[in-house]
């Protein structure tokens, strides 16, 4: 009985505040009486702090909300992974509150290195990261945050299993937070400073996104999987196609998908820059998933809401809801896809991949196949892969490529272990890594002899494949595919193998052919809970706890406030680097071994922009100072910082794409950046820059990029005035060439809300929050 009671109380603490949300939705209806709403709008608007202000001001009285209105939102919950949680907590600490204002969780997943298998890697990583884990756990206990220890699982899988729910709105300090949209939640990836807004009960601002409808028709079968839906869509929309949009899935095909399949699809909406992605409440898959994860009462409440008349049904779009753009995918005709290398939107249908390998001179063999991660480690994924491994094992085959399995959570690991799936993988020679991010985030100690700088290929069921992402080798080509395809291809070890049509030679001279995979969405015996040590700490704040930070630490440092904006325009900034081509958050703040320094801003800043190609020198991480001396980018930035020289970066399109990593904004700011001038920005990164007091500006004429170079001197004309009120428009930069007496003006665009101007003038959002707290 005690267990039942404690389960009931933890479920009630994790249930979205449905009565409040339904009340707010009614209030929104009175403000917008005739406008049919999309599902995304219903959930977002029912989380508005002040619906009248957000929906009616500056929107032509509600007619022009999308892309225009500034939504001030009150999310229900916050989730943080251990790498980003450090900075979020360091920022939260400086606000001086006794507990978080909304429920929150911390997940220790990003700092565990994959090398020899979970049993060896996990204890090694716990020892290596002890001071960081101690810091996070002590802060969690003090502020009443649920702390999921290392080994418990990957944030997005743990969120799906425990916190995601239809109608919930949550923020997560990780760009794949939208994974929870698979269970009908609006879940948005943000930087730590944004998470702090929710943690201190300040409204969190979002420019009202447009909504892109993706209509699913037909039904998946054979080799096609949910991953192929998103790999196909990424190819169609590109890495910029989701910027400023929420992707909302509709249509009869939704009914045929599992909840975890929907999560995979939502997870990778981040690869297109989407604000988030969402599926409607789907009783056929959501109810069984909620029940099997011990949340039957949430399933009942969601089902009751779904039976309300259309306008009051929080969990489905209104009939006649209009989408800004629409795409149709026929699941019945969808074939498996392979995306990459080096960008997730280079999408090739499997039937054409062989030709693409030849045409592009990609390696014909690959060294490792990796399945699992936050994107693809569901029970369905694992059992479908198991069906393939069994077929191959029965034929006497072993994988030719190294084969790694990363379970997304202890719950999944324990369940597939109990059901024999894990043993099937291990007997086939697969290596089971810890329930953690591992190779997905560069925490991979490769032991197969591939050298840095050597061209090679890997196949993964992960979500991201920028250069250097997995093993720190920028020449490693990561081809993204479904876990089923990765598994089957690992048996051939060849990139030009098509398991739908090709066979593998057997010793007796015959050929082995795979049959299409088959699996089970949910375990018939329910999920196992696994190791009790991997359960979270309770969400009860304890003021007596002292937060563990060693003043001598090289991994944790208390944050010093940034200096405020000067009382006038910026003068004499210098261009630190003119970046050529793609500049992701990995480029600006590399992961891998650097994750270690996430809580120590001075130390991690030594990796700033080390992946960037300098347009002047043509080389990675090589820039010239005014005196002609050559430096790495962080060296020159530090040199200038010590001289009091502030600077800017000039860049091309989609600057800061890829992740919510706020260090990509914090580090340049710490080293002296005041402006990033780009052709365009990725949404989360642009917001992160403003929160840290850096001004993002875009070229009014993209051709002006060509006129600028490293060490050019830049002053703003009128920016200080703009910062008094915000808005959007143009100002000029006065550019003086470093190599000649020439000077010219460059018109640039700004887009700043009043609050964001406040952050910039105060030096950072945190400076402003602390000033408000003290006044």
Catalytic residue numbers read: 109-110, 174, 464, 659, 661
What is the torsion angle, in degrees rounded to the nearest 10, for the CA atoms of residue 528, residue 463, residue 602 and residue 107? -10
Give the residue with the Cβ less far from ligand F3S, 79 or 477.
Answer: 79
Give the residue with the Cβ less far from ligand F3S, 213 or 269.
Answer: 269
Where does this chain bind ligand F3S (CB under 6 A)?
109, 154-156, 174, 176, 373-374, 437, 440-441, 462-464
Residue pair 762/755 in contact by the 8 Å Cβ criterion: no
Q: What is the DSSP string of 378-435?
A: SHHHHHHHHHHHHHHHHTT---SSEEEEE-SBHHHHHHHHHTTHHHHHHHTT-EEPPS
181: exposed, middle or buried (Cβ count in 10 Å: 0-12, 13-18, 19+): buried
Q: Residues near 539 by Cβ (< 8 Å), separated by ≥ 6? A: 13, 103, 144, 145, 146
Residue pair 314/42 in contact by the 8 Å Cβ criterion: yes
Q: Could you tell me where the beta strands, DSSP code E, fall in 642-726?
A: 647-650, 673-678, 695-699, 713-717
Beta-carbon count within 10 A of 508 CB? 8
Which strand (E) or helix (H) includes residue 735? strand 727-736
Beta-carbon count within 10 A of 448 CB? 11
Residue pair 206/686 in contact by the 8 Å Cβ criterion: no
In the bound complex, what is the minimum distance in angstroms from residue 107's beta carbon to ligand F3S? Answer: 9
Which strand (E) or helix (H) includes residue 724? helix 719-725
In the bound complex, what is the minimum distance in angstroms from residue 495's beta carbon to ligand F3S? Answer: 22
Q: How far apart are CA 222 and CA 722, in angstroms?
A: 57
In the bound complex, what is the minimum distance in angstroms from residue 764's beta carbon to ligand F3S? Answer: 26
Q: How far apart are CA 90 and CA 555, in angstroms?
A: 12
In the bound complex, what is the minimum distance in angstroms from residue 179's beta carbon to ligand F3S? Answer: 8
In the bound complex, what is the minimum distance in angstroms from residue 372's beta carbon to ligand F3S? Answer: 8
Q: What is the DSSP string of 313-381?
A: -TTSPPTT---SEEEEEEGGG---EEE-SSSTT-EEEHHHHHHHHHHHT--SB-SEEEEETTTB-SHHH
Residue pair 192/209 in contact by the 8 Å Cβ criterion: no
Q: How far is CA 118 from CA 151, 212, 332, 415, in A?
A: 9, 40, 38, 16
Which strand (E) or helix (H) includes residue 196? helix 192-199
In the bound complex, what is the minimum distance in angstroms from residue 326's beta carbon to ligand F3S? Answer: 28
Q: What is the DSSP string of 612-659?
A: PBBTTT-SBT-EE-TTS-EE-HHHHHHHHHHTT--EEEE--TTBTBT-
Q: How far is CA 72 from CA 197, 205, 211, 385, in A?
A: 11, 5, 18, 44
Q: How far apart are CA 626 and CA 676, in angstroms?
A: 20
Q: What's the order of all strands across the beta sheet hosting 104-107?
A: 146-148, 104-107, 77-81, 169-172, 186-189
Which strand (E) or helix (H) includes residue 769? helix 765-774
Across the chain, which distance is largest between two alpha carbons, in Å? Answer: 82
C-alpha R_g of the chain:
25
Q: Could you tell me where the beta strands, DSSP code E, fall in 36-150?
A: 70-73, 77-81, 104-107, 146-148
Give the residue with the Cβ less far from ligand F3S, 411 or 492.
Answer: 411
Q: What does the chain come to in residues?
A: 775
In the bound complex, what is the minimum distance in angstroms from residue 95's beta carbon to ligand F3S? Answer: 26
Give the residue with the Cβ less far from ligand F3S, 472 or 499.
Answer: 472
The H-assigned helical ranges of 493-599 are 585-588
In the bound complex, what is the minimum distance in angstroms from residue 443's beta carbon to ligand F3S? Answer: 8
Give the residue with the Cβ less far from ligand F3S, 374 or 489.
Answer: 374
Which residues sit opposite 715 in a β-bridge? 734
In the bound complex, what is the minimum distance in angstroms from residue 415's beta carbon to ligand F3S? Answer: 19
Q: Kindly give the pairing relationship between strand 204-207 and strand 573-578.
A: unpaired
In the bound complex, what is the minimum distance in angstroms from residue 349's beta carbon to ligand F3S? Answer: 24
Give the residue with the Cβ less far from ligand F3S, 109 or 662.
Answer: 109
Q: How far apart are CA 431 and CA 116, in angstroms?
A: 8
Give the residue with the Cβ less far from ligand F3S, 205 or 381.
Answer: 381
Q: How far apart are CA 481 and CA 474, in angstroms?
A: 19
Could you give the angle at which helices 410-418 and 379-394 cross, rounded to 10 degrees? 40
Give the residue with the Cβ less far from ligand F3S, 370 or 612.
Answer: 370
Give the residue with the Cβ less far from ligand F3S, 258 or 460.
Answer: 460
Residue pair 602/670 in contact by the 8 Å Cβ criterion: yes
Q: Kindly give the pairing relationship between strand 368-372 and strand 456-460.
A: parallel
Give the residue with the Cβ less far from ligand F3S, 155 or 547.
Answer: 155
In the bound complex, what is the minimum distance in angstroms from residue 462's beta carbon to ligand F3S? Answer: 6
Give the residue with the Cβ less far from ligand F3S, 302 or 664.
Answer: 664
Residue pair 317/248 in contact by the 8 Å Cβ criterion: yes
Q: How far apart are CA 585 and CA 189, in angstroms?
A: 14
In the bound complex, what is the minimum distance in angstroms from residue 192's beta carbon to ligand F3S? Answer: 15
Give the residue with the Cβ less far from ligand F3S, 188 or 733.
Answer: 188
Q: How far apart are CA 9 and CA 193, in angstroms?
A: 30
Give the residue with the Cβ less far from ligand F3S, 209 or 408.
Answer: 408
In the bound complex, what is the minimum distance in angstroms from residue 439's beta carbon to ligand F3S? Answer: 9
């Amino acid at each position: 009985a005690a267990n039942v009671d404690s389960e009931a109380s933890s479920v009630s603490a994790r249930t979205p505040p449905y009565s409040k949300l339904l009340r707010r939705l009614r209030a929104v209806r009175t403000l917008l009486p005739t406008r049919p709403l999309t599902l995304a709008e219903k959930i977002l608007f029912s989380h508005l702090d002040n619906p009248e202000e957000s929906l009616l001001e500056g929107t032509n009285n509600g007619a022009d909300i999308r892309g225009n209105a500034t939504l001030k939102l009150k999310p229900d919950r916050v989730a943080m992974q251990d790498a980003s949680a450090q900075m979020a907590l360091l920022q939260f600490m400086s606000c001086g509150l006794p507990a978080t204002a909304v429920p929150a969780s911390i997940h220790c997943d990003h700092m565990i290195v994959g090398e020899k298998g979970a049993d060896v890697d996990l204890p090694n990583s716990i020892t290596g990261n002890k001071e960081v884990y101690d810091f996070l756990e002590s802060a969690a206990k003090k502020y009443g945050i649920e702390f999921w220890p290392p080994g418990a699982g990957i944030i997005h899988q743990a969120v799906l299993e425990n916190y995601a729910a239809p109608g919930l709105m949550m923020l997560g300090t990780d760009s794949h937070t939208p994974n929870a949209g698979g269970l009908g939640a609006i879940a948005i990836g943000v930087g730590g400073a944004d998470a702090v807004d929710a943690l201190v009960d300040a409204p969190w601002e979002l420019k009202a996104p447009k909504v892109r409808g993706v209509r699913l028709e037909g039904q998946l079968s054979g080799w096609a999987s949910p991953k192929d839906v998103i790999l196909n869509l990424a190819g169609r929309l590109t890495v910029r196609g989701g910027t400023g949009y929420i992707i909302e899935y509709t249509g009869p095909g939704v009914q045929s998908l599992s909840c975890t399949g929907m999560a995979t699809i939502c997870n990778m909406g981040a690869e297109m820059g989407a604000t988030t992605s969402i599926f409607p409440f789907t009783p056929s898959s959501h109810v069984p998933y909620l029940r099997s994860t011990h949340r039957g009462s949430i399933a009942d409440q969601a089902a009751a809401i779904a039976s309300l008349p259309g306008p009051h049904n929080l969990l489905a779009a209104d009939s006649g809801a209009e989408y800004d753009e629409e795409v149709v995918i026929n699941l019945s005709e969808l074939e498996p896809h392979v995306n990459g290398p080096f960008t997730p939107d280079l999408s090739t249908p499997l039937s054409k991949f062989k030709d693409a390998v030849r045409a592009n001179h990609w390696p014909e063999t690959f060294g490792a196949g990796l399945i699992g991660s936050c994107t693809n480690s569901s029970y369905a994924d694992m059992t479908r892969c198991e069906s393939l491994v069994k077929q191959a094992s029965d034929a006497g085959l072993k994988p030719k490529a190294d084969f790694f399995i990363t379970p997304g959570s202890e719950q999944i690991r324990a369940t597939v272990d109990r059901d024999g799936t894990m043993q099937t993988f291990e007997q086939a020679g697969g290596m089971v890594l810890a329930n953690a991010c591992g190779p997905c985030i560069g925490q991979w100690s490769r032991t197969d002899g591939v050298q840095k700088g050597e061209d090679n290929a890997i196949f993964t069921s992960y979500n991201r494949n920028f250069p250097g992402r997995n093993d720190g080798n920028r020449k490693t080509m990561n081809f993204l595919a479904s876990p089923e395809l990765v598994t089957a291809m690992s048996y051939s070890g060849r990139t030009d193998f098509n398991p739908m049509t090709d066979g593998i030679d057997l010793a007796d001279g015959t050929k082995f052919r795979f049959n299409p995979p088959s699996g089970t969405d949910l375990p018939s015996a329910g999920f196992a809970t696994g190791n009790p040590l991997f359960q979270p700490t309770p969400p009860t704040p304890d003021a007596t706890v002292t937060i563990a930070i060693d003043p001598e630490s090289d991994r944790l440092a208390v944050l010093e406030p940034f200096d405020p904006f000067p009382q006038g325009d910026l003068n004499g900034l210098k261009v630190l680097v003119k970046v050529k081509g793609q500049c992701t958050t990995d480029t600006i703040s590399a992961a891998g071994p650097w994750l270690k320094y996430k809580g120590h801003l001075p130390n991690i800043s030594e990796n700033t922009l080390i992946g960037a190609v300098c347009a002047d020198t043509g080389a990675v991480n090589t820039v010239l100072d005014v005196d002609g001396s050559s430096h790495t980018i962080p060296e020159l930035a530090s040199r200038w910082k010590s001289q009091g020289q502030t600077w800017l970066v000039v860049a091309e399109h989609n600057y800061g794409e890829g992740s919510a990593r706020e260090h990509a904004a914090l580090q340049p700011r710490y080293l002296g950046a005041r402006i990033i001038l780009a052709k365009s920005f990725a949404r989360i990164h642009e917001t992160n820059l403003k929160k840290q007091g850096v001004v993002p500006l875009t070229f009014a004429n993209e051709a002006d990029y060509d006129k600028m170079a490293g060490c050019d001197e830049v002053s703003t004309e009128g920016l200080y005035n703009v910062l008094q009120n915000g808005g959007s428009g143009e100002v000029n930069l006065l550019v003086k060439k470093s190599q000649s007496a020439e000077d010219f003006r460059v018109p640039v665009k700004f887009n700043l809300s009043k609050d964001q101007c406040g952050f910039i003038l105060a030096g950072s959002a945190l400076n402003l929050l602390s000033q408000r707290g003290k006044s």
